[in-house]
């Protein structure tokens, strides 16, 4: 099981209805994307991280492991905004407006990544997917996502077993052996995944598959008070940002 999924199943917020968590983290995400970057992005990040490391009890170490790759991608991508390409000879030059643009993009994207990751750290996908059909998503699309999600763990386990066998046979002893072993690993995974998908399809047909997978969903009460409490922090962030913006623009 992936670290994010394991943390989501252990989270004390698992018993909170996904809609309430969607209002909370989704509202913060909208604030990060729609409101002025400063101070919206820092406020969103602070509120989300305070809720995650506080009542949600998300492990800071696990969050750092999951966040460093997308945050590094955001940072390296924003560096391109520091330069401009133009002029008579197509020269690359420093853009005076680049640092402000890079800071704005980095702030918005980093705050948005925090919201999405923390929603994933507190909400197992198995609790979320069956409820998506209730808000109008096609059941076929939800079922395809669920099947891919479940087969992902089987594929990762198969890759781990194959890699262990290759390593035991000195399959990664040098560069040439490493390239050959990685190619063999990819080919074996493709064949096994295709065969497993075919067997799954035949199994569903033999069990009278009618176009919809019926699964048992935990009964979680969605209370209006919980939704109101979840909506309060995004509204406060929006009010604080707009107030700061209007006061700063005043005489």
Longest dimension (CA), the chain: 75
Q: Are residues 110 and 228 in the same domain?
A: yes
Mean pLDDT per segment of 10 residues, for the chain of length 251 residues?
83 91 95 92 95 92 93 93 74 84 94 94 87 81 83 86 91 90 92 88 80 71 89 95 77 47
Dist. CA 226–CA 85, nearest whole Å: 51
Position 215 in a domain: no
- State pTM to two decimals: 0.82
Peptide bond into 39 cis (omega under 30): yes
Q: Within a 13 Å sphere around the CA of 226, how many CA atoms are in the beta-carbon half?
A: 13
Torsional sign, CA 100, 103, 105, 111: negative
Helix (H) or strand (E) holding 105: helix 98-122
- Which burial class, exposed, middle or buried, applies to 110 when counting CB atoms under 10 A from its CB (0-12, 13-18, 19+)? buried
Position 79 in a domain: yes
Dist. CA 126–CA 28, nearest whole Å: 23
Count: domains in the chain: 2
Position 211 in a domain: no
pLDDT of 22: 93
As given in the structure block, the two tokens for residue 123 are 């909400």
Give the domain range for residue 98: 3-123+221-249
Taking phi over 0 as left and psi of -120 to 50 as alpha, with beta for the rest, 136 belongs to left
pLDDT of 45: 94
Dist. CA 101–CA 41, nearest whole Å: 14
Q: Are residues 71 and 148 in the same domain?
A: no
Q: Are residues 31 and 95 in the same domain?
A: yes
Q: Are residues 227 and 200 in the same domain?
A: no
Dist. CA 17–CA 113, nearest whole Å: 21
Q: Are residues 162 and 109 in the same domain?
A: no
**8 A C-beta contact, residue 27 and residue 231:** yes
Q: Are residues 21 and 117 in the same domain?
A: yes
Dist. CA 70–CA 113, nearest whole Å: 8
Q: Are residues 119 and 172 in the same domain?
A: no
Query: Helix or strand or coil: residue 84?
Result: strand
- CA separation (Å) from 104 to 32, 127, 133, 150, 173? 11, 34, 36, 37, 46
pLDDT of 251: 47
- Which burial class, exposed, middle or buried, applies to 113 when counting CB atoms under 10 A from its CB (0-12, 13-18, 19+)? buried
Position 212 in a domain: no
Q: Are residues 191 and 243 in the same domain?
A: no
Dist. CA 139–CA 132, nearest whole Å: 8
Q: What is the pLDDT of residues 149-208, one digit of tens each?
A: 888 888 888 899 999 999 998 889 899 999 999 999 999 999 998 898 888 888 878 877
Q: Within a 13 Å sphere around the CA of 206, how many CA atoms are in the beta-carbon half?
A: 6
């Amino acid at each position: 099981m992936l670290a994010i999924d394991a943390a989501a199943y252990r989270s004390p917020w698992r018993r909170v209805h996904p809609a309430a968590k969607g209002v909370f983290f989704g509202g913060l995400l909208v604030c990060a994307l729609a409101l002025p970057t400063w101070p919206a992005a820092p406020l969103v990040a602070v509120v989300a991280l305070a809720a995650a490391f506080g009542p949600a009890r998300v492990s800071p170490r696990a969050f750092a492991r999951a966040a460093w790759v997308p945050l590094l991608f955001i940072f390296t991508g924003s560096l391109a905004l520091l330069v401009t390409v133009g002029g008579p000879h197509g020269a690359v030059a420093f853009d005076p407006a680049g640092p402000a643009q890079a800071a704005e993009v980095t702030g918005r994207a980093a705050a948005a990544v925090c919201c999405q990751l923390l929603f994933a750290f507190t909400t197992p996908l198995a609790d979320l997917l069956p409820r998506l059909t209730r808000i109008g998503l096609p059941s076929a699309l939800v079922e395809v996502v669920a099947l891919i999600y479940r087969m992902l763990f089987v594929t990762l386990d198969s890759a781990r077993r194959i890699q262990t066998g290759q390593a035991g046979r000195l399959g990664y002893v040098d560069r040439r052996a490493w390239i050959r072993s990685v190619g063999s690993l990819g080919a074996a995974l493709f064949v096994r995944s295709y065969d497993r998908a075919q067997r799954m399809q035949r199994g569903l047909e033999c069990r009278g598959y009618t176009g919809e997978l019926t699964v048992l969903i935990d009964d979680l009460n969605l209370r209006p008070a919980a939704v109101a409490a979840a909506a309060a922090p995004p509204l406060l962030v929006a009010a604080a940002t707009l107030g700061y913006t209007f006061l700063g623009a005043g005489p």
